[in-house]
Amino acid sequence: MNPLDPLVSVEEVCRKFPLDHRDVTALDRASLSVSAGEFLAISGPSGSGKSTLLNLIGCIDKPTSGRIRIDGTDTGALSASGTTELRRKKIGFVFQTFNLIPVFTAAENVEFPLLVQGLGSGERRRRVAEALESVGLANRADQRPDLLSGGERQRVAVARAIVHRPELVLADEPTANLDTRNATQLIDLMRELNRSLGLTFIFSTHDQRLLEHTPRIVRLTDGHVESDSALEGGSHGQVLATCVS
Q: How confident is the model at residue 229 (pLDDT cuts 50, 70, 90)?
A: confident
Q: How confident is the model at residue 3 (pLDDT cuts 50, 70, 90)?
A: low
pLDDT of res. 233: 53
Q: What is d(CA 131, CA 224) in angstroms, rounded to the nearest whole number?
A: 36
Q: What is d(CA 108, CA 124) in angstroms, rounded to the nearest whole number?
A: 10
CA-based nearest residue to 74, from 166, 139, 8, 121: 8
Q: Answer yes or no: are the C-beta atoms of 173 and 98 closer than 8 Å.
A: no
Question: Would you say residue 239 has pLDDT above 90?
Answer: no
pLDDT of res. 65: 96
pLDDT of res. 21: 82
Nearby residues of 81 by Cβ (< 8 Å), 6 or more positions away: none
Q: Is 207 helix (H, G, I), strand (E, B) or coil?
A: coil
**Residue 142 carries which side chain, given as an amino acid letter?**
D
Buried b or exposed e, range 181-206, using 16+ CB within 10 angstroms: ebbbbbbebbeebbeeeebbbbbbbb
Q: Is 4 helix (H, G, I), strand (E, B) or coil?
A: coil
Q: Answer yes or no: are the C-beta atoms of 96 and 178 closer than 8 Å.
A: no
Question: Would you say residue 232 has pLDDT above 80?
Answer: no
Mean pLDDT, range 79-93, rounded to an integer: 94
Q: What is the pLDDT of residues 105-136, one digit of tens each?
A: 999 999 999 998 889 999 999 999 999 999 99
Least confident segment among 37-41, 93-97, 196-200, 239-243: 239-243
CATH H-level superfamily of 38-60+79-216: P-loop containing nucleotide triphosphate hydrolases (3.40.50.300)
State the average pLDDT for the chain.
Answer: 90
Q: How confident is the model at residue 209 (pLDDT cuts 50, 70, 90)?
A: confident
pLDDT of res. 237: 40
Q: How confident is the model at residue 244 (pLDDT cuts 50, 70, 90)?
A: very low
Question: Would you say residue 54 has pLDDT above 60?
Answer: yes
pLDDT of res. 238: 39
pTM above 0.75, yes or no: yes
Q: What is the pLDDT of residues 148-198, one digit of tens each?
A: 999 999 999 999 999 999 999 999 999 988 998 899 999 999 999 999 999
Other CB atoms within 10 Å distance of the CB of residue 7: 21
Q: How confident is the model at residue 20 (pLDDT cuts 50, 70, 90)?
A: confident
Q: What is d(CA 51, CA 170) in angstroms, rounded to the nearest whole number?
A: 10
Domain limits of the chain?
Answer: 38-60+79-216
pLDDT of res. 236: 41
Positive or negative torsion for Cα 77, 170, 201, 15: positive
Question: Would you say residue 61 has pLDDT above 70?
Answer: yes
Q: What is d(CA 179, CA 13) in angstroms, rounded to the nearest whole number?
A: 34
Q: What is d(CA 225, CA 153) in angstroms, rounded to the nearest whole number?
A: 32
More confident residue, 124 or 231: 124
